[in-house]
Amino acid sequence: MASPSPAGDPPFHDDLVADILIRLPTLADFGRACVSCPAFRRVITSHSFLRRLHALHPPSLLGTRTSSRFYPAEPPHPSAAAARALADAADFTFSFLPNPGSWMVRDERGGRFVVDRNEGGDDTFTTIAVCDPLFRRYVYLRTWPPPSRIDRTS
């Protein structure tokens, strides 16, 4: 006779649960399944399941960004509603930074932007920040002046 499973755990193996859960149609359904049962959460948050999930549900295109503006995806694109919500919530003009309008975007990845501005007359010393336009937060990165040459002949 099999021993009873702990309360809340289904009487199935994780592989079988994963094969059932991977068939859910939307990413929102995976979120609902995670909060509905601890065993489902354990399966869904495992690395092997997440690899399968991301292969079936690639990240959505939310829009494009130019130097001055964010252009959200428009209907009939499947992610148009999420893109519009992002455009309404985020500040892609970076007005939350000191001296808005003087910052130049250098890189963007994972929803965060590396921006900089020239503090002096030359391009040697710049202020660099990483900012999150959705939460309107930024962090300055430390910059060091280039090291001076040391004369080792004496």
Return d(Cα 68, Cα 54) in angstroms, integer: 31
pLDDT at site 127 = 85
Query: Is the confidence at residue 18, as pLDDT, over 70?
Result: yes
Nearest CA-CA partner of 81 in 62, 103, 58 = 62
pLDDT band per the 50, 70, 90 thresholds, residue 136:
very high
Nearest CA-CA partner of 138 in 151, 146, 128 = 128
Task: Taking residues 37-52, report their average pLDDT.
Answer: 92
pLDDT at site 1 = 46
DSSP string, 20-76: HHTT-SSHHHHHHHHHH-HHHHHHHTSHHHHHHHHHHSPPPP-EEE-SS-EEE--TT
pLDDT at site 129 = 93
Owner of token pair 């859910």 = 24
How many residues in the chain?
Answer: 154
Return d(Cα 47, Cα 105) in angstroms, integer: 33
Percent of the chain with pLDDT over 70: 81
Return d(Cα 51, Cα 55) in angstroms, integer: 6
Query: Is the confidence at residue 5, as pLDDT, over 70?
Result: no
Task: Taking residues 82-95, report their average pLDDT.
Answer: 91
- Total H helices, total E strands in the chain: 5, 6
**Bridge partners (DSSP) listed for residue 84:** none
Query: Is the confidence at residue 46, as pLDDT, over 90?
Result: yes
Return d(Cα 118, Cα 10) in angstroms, integer: 59
- 153 vs 92 pLDDT, higher one: 92
Order of all β-strands in the sheet with 112-118: 104-109, 112-118, 126-132, 137-141
